[in-house]
Amino acid sequence: MSRWLIAVASIVIIGCSSGNKDEMHGSGYIIVNEQIWSKNYTTPYPFTVPEGEIACASNPAFGREVYFNPKGYTDESYIGTPLNKSAVDGLKLGHLSSNVPYNIKKGADLSEAVQIGLKVCYEQEDSLANN
């Protein structure tokens, strides 16, 4: 699990919740690259870097936030590129912005990337619920 994502989500949660940490579930990530993408997904690979990770965190104020971090920019000191509106809203609330190199192809269809990230959230939430 990427610690940067937990840090970002925690900052966002502090600014918008009553402090109930049980409502925020830091989630995992999935590695994506051009070769895997072309075999498993129908849309063209949407990122300008050959490899990275799609991560997700659940935020009670905005819902599930999905981010992309290029390979080499995945530790807690980096804030990924937001891929959905919840992630954009969460960063705005925390007065944060992405600090990784721009990495979405112009005009890219992010629908599958967002769905992949949301699936990571659902899987993590299921795992937490079953423990």
Q: Are 46 and 109 within 8 A, CB to CB?
A: yes
Left, alpha or beta for 88 (phi > 0: left; psi -120 to 50: alpha)?
A: alpha
According to DSSP, the β-strands at 25-33 and 63-70 are: unpaired
Read off the tokens for 44: 């063209």
pLDDT-based confidence at residue 123 (cuts at 50, 70, 90)? confident
pLDDT-based confidence at residue 14 (cuts at 50, 70, 90)? very low
88 vs 98: CA distance, rounded Å: 10
For the segment 28-54, the average pLDDT, to the nearest whole number, is: 94
Strand-pairing partners, residue 8, are: none
The pTM score is 0.76
Residue 27, pLDDT above cutoff 80:
no
CA angle 127, 70, 116 (to 5 degrees): 40
84 vs 58: CA distance, rounded Å: 12
For the segment 94-118, the average pLDDT, to the nearest whole number, is: 94
